[in-house]
Amino acid sequence: MDTTGTITSFTSTPKTRFAIGGDMYEVDTAGKNYSVTNPDPQTLRFEIRPGDYAWFDSPGTVDRAQIERTTNTGDQELIAPSTPVNIAYQFMVEANGANGSFINNASWFTAGEMHNDDLSLGQNMHTSPPFAIQLAGDHLQVVARYALPGGNPSNGSSDLHMLTLWTDPNPIRAGQYNDTKISANISNNSSGYLGVWVNGTQVVNYQGPLGFGDPTYWEYGLYRSPAPETVAANFRNMTVTTGAGPPGFGATAGPEEYGMS
């Protein structure tokens, strides 16, 4: 598991892989010279422009520049259900508006997500992430989803529950890194939990069902509904570990207002 965040053997070519702290990541981008770059050994810069999509996307449906954790052979590096996972990184958006502002007109915008292993559900099943770090306009946001055992987790199903756990009341500041820590146990029963800390403050303290009972994998970068503006962001010092977390990580202290329903 990645404990250093150091990027090696970098490549920007779609369908190829490089290492971050020893973990392999596959490039899922439009393959432009700006889609993903490596300014220094700890940092990745992602950029999307209108119409940028990966080879597996339908043209005009999304804009994407992401990487996903894989094995050395290119399969997703899956984390089994009920496995504690700890993710840490710093995240910065670049100014794309007047006077150094950040603009986002996408109807949805994901900057990091724990992706479900939809192959375990069947060939035609597609789900949204069990949890995601998002941009809602110019505000950071954390959302989570779950379907209880035996439920249908597909989008539009009445069994799918979506929770907006936090929306930053303050606009994100372009050019400023946000230190982010995530501690999660993706289990769709009462043992599930999600804790998120931003700049040293715990902003999410959720205990309850999380995910759909399937394996998951970490994916990050920029992924949105079609929008007119160019967006660029930097991620640095990305680490992903499983098991008991270091200081600052851990299970939530207790149930919140969210729970099984």
Q: Tell whether 65 is covered by a domain.
A: yes
Determine the structural domain holding residue 217 and report its residue range.
7-242
> What's the pTM?
0.92
Q: What is the CATH number of the domain that holds 99?
A: 2.60.120.200
Q: Tell whether 252 is covered by a domain.
A: no
Question: From CA 110, how far away is CA 92, in angstroms rounded?
Answer: 14
Task: State how many domains the chain has.
Answer: 1
Q: Tell whether 118 is covered by a domain.
A: yes
Q: 247: number of CA atoms within 13 Å, CB side?
A: 1
Q: Which of 132, 164, 131, 167 is nearest to 146 (CA)?
A: 131
Q: Tell whether 61 is covered by a domain.
A: yes
Q: Tell whether 16 is covered by a domain.
A: yes
Using the CB atoms, write b or e for 138-177: b if 16+ within 10 Å. bbbbbbbbbbeeebebbeeeeebbebebbebeeebebeeb
Question: From CA 45, how far away is CA 62, in angstroms rounded?
Answer: 19
Q: Tell whether 255 is covered by a domain.
A: no
pLDDT tens sequence for the chain (261 residues): 768 899 999 999 999 999 999 899 999 999 999 999 999 999 999 999 999 999 999 999 999 999 999 988 778 899 999 999 999 999 999 999 999 999 999 999 999 999 999 887 765 678 999 999 999 999 999 999 999 999 999 999 999 999 999 999 999 999 999 999 999 999 999 999 999 999 999 999 999 999 999 999 999 999 999 999 999 999 999 999 999 765 455 544 433 333 333
Q: Is the Cα torsion angle 97, 135, 220, 242 positive or negative in sign?
A: positive
Q: Tell whether 249 is covered by a domain.
A: no
Q: Tell whether 248 is covered by a domain.
A: no
Strand partners, 89: 180
Report which DSSP code applies to 94: P
pLDDT at 32: 98
